[in-house]
């Protein structure tokens, strides 16, 4: 597994080694030992999630508050997305900044989105299957979000606004400046 730090150090691109021949391919999509050695701390994934979406669907920007904050390890099984992680740790040097990474069946890349970040993706191909691991269970009481097109975030979703398809919930999320439900930078969110 190849680990690549992005412009926000805590957000990691993971590139598995693909072993392919005329029969197809084989990859290890997750190795706890290698990831934990790279990060220097343990992550205990406890739940796997999967969604199937058509082109133009945006899911996010979502996060959960402590004690149910989540690290996500995301990947695409079929199709293609633009995956986005936004730093929502108050007083972080990268607060309000984001990382955008294309994840696809072809490139097999994964993105590690740590606690303290809001996460979203926009689907770039029909019938895209998106899968991810989380290290904490879903909690409706701790579920929060940020408006996907908040001008302060300046996220380029690649597609035209008339191509986008959002849930009613995601259409009315608050802007980053309007929410008090953020994380403290420098606090260990893994204890």
Each residue of 19-51: pLDDT tens digit? 999 999 999 999 999 999 999 999 999 999 999
pLDDT for position 182: 86
**Average pLDDT over all residues of the chain:** 96
Q: What angle do CA 45, 46, 47 make, to 5 degrees?
A: 105
pLDDT for position 22: 95
Residues 6+ apart with CB under 8 A from 77: 50, 105, 129, 130, 131
The structure tokens listed for 96 are 């309000």
In the predicted structure, residue 191 carries a pLDDT above the cut 80? no
Mind listing the domains of the chain with CATH numbers? 2-184 (2.60.120.10)
pLDDT for position 138: 96
In this prediction, residues 110-136 reach a mean pLDDT of 98
Catalytically active residues are 62, 132
In the predicted structure, residue 87 carries a pLDDT above the cut 80? yes
Each residue of 47-85: pLDDT tens digit? 999 999 999 999 999 999 999 999 999 999 999 999 999
């Amino acid at each position: 597994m190849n680990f690549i730090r992005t412009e926000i150090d805590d957000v990691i691109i993971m590139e598995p080694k693909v072993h392919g021949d005329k029969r197809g391919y084989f990859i290890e999509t997750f190795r706890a030992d290698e990831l934990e050695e790279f990060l220097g701390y343990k992550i205990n994934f406890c739940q796997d999630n999967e969604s199937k979406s058509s082109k133009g669907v945006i899911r996010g920007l979502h996060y959960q508050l402590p004690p149910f904050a989540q690290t996500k390890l995301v990947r695409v099984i079929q199709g293609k997305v633009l995956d986005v992680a936004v730093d929502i740790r108050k007083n972080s040097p990268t607060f309000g900044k984001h990382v955008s990474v294309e994840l696809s069946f072809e490139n097999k890349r994964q993105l590690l989105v740590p606690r303290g970040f809001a996460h979203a993706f926009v689907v770039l191909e029909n019938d895209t299957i998106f899968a991810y691991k989380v290290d904490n269970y879903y909690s409706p009481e701790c579920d929060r979000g940020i408006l996907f097109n908040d001008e302060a975030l300046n996220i380029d979703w690649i597609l035209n606004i008339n191509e986008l398809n959002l849930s009613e919930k995601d259409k009315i999320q608050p802007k980053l400046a309007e929410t008090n439900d953020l994380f403290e930078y420098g606090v260990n969110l893994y204890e």
